[in-house]
């Protein structure tokens, strides 16, 4: 393994990347995600028509209700877990992981290749969905899109790292990820207290609630106590790196059957 040529190792990682990307895209998860996004887009179009001519109210509804609550609060973690939580656990279930691990490619590079593939696919879907939801609101929608794009990008990176870690940890990772998304991200993130600081959505929303944001969004609950945008960015960035590193370590040490 130590004498494997760098070019061959790169080619092997590229092949893992391509296979993971293709397998995850052509899956049932994509169909479910397409349906959810279609429903959200239908609601957005109806809202844009209903509020036509009321510019300020339309932008407020788009940012605070559709994007902040529906997209960031629900669709974003669901899309991320749909792809990331099944990346490794599906190979375990299909009994193909053992063949992948028997190659000369180091396990950390295998994990990193799969992470890169899942992250690329998830970012493409989340950012594409975000743009489609903003499109019906015209120029105001594009202004909102520019505010939400960096938040969604970094939050997606963190979510993918977390749910891929679940996938490397347990066989039925999708159920664990779904429980986390619904019970922790959706419920805990919207209650007073410090417990919500363990969630990704808290830092994503804190970034949006910052006084520097041109959208002037406010928390839905009293005593939400958001952190600053800079703090949220640092936490999401460091958490993303830490989750990937932890996942690589776990994937390298765990015995798979």
State the pTM of this model. 0.91
Q: Phi/psi at 94 (nearest 5 deg)? A: -80, 0
Q: What is the pLDDT of residue 4?
A: 59
Taking the C-alpha atoms of residue 216 and residue 210, their distance in angstroms, rounded to an integer, is 8
DSSP, collapsed to helix, strand or coil, labels residue 225 as coil
pLDDT of the chain along its 257 residues, tens only? 455 566 588 888 898 899 899 989 998 999 999 999 999 999 888 887 877 766 667 777 788 888 888 899 889 999 999 999 989 887 877 777 877 787 778 899 999 999 999 999 999 999 999 999 998 888 888 889 999 999 999 999 999 999 999 999 988 888 889 888 888 887 776 676 777 888 999 999 889 888 887 777 777 776 778 889 999 999 999 999 999 999 999 999 888 76
């Amino acid at each position: 393994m130590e004498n494997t040529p760098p070019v061959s190792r790169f080619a092997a990682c590229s092949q893992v990347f391509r296979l993971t990307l293709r397998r995850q895209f052509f899956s049932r998860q994509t169909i479910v995600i397409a349906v959810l996004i279609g429903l959200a887009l239908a609601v957005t179009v109806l809202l844009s028509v209903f509020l036509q001519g009321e510019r300020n109210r339309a932008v407020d509804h788009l940012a605070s209700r559709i994007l902040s609550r529906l997209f960031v609060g629900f669709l974003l973690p669901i899309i991320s877990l749909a792809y990331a939580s099944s990346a490794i656990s599906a190979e375990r279930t299909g009994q193909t992981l053992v063949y992948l691990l028997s190659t000369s490619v180091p396990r950390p590079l295998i994990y990193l290749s799969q992470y890169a593939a899942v992250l690329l696919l998830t970012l493409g879907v989340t950012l594409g969905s975000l743009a489609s939801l903003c499109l019906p609101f015209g120029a105001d929608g594009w202004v909102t899109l520019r505010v939400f794009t960096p938040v969604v990008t970094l939050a997606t990176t963190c979510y993918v790292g977390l749910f891929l870690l679940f996938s490397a940890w347990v066989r039925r990772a999708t159920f664990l990820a779904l429980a986390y998304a619904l019970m922790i991200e959706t419920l805990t993130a919207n209650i007073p207290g410090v417990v919500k600081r363990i969630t990704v959505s808290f830092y994503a929303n804190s970034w949006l609630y910052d006084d520097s944001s041109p959208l002037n969004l406010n928390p839905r609950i009293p005593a939400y106590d958001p952190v600053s945008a800079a703090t949220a960015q640092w936490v999401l960035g460091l958490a993303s790196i830490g989750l990937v590193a932890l996942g690589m370590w776990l994937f390298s040490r765990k015995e798979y059957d």
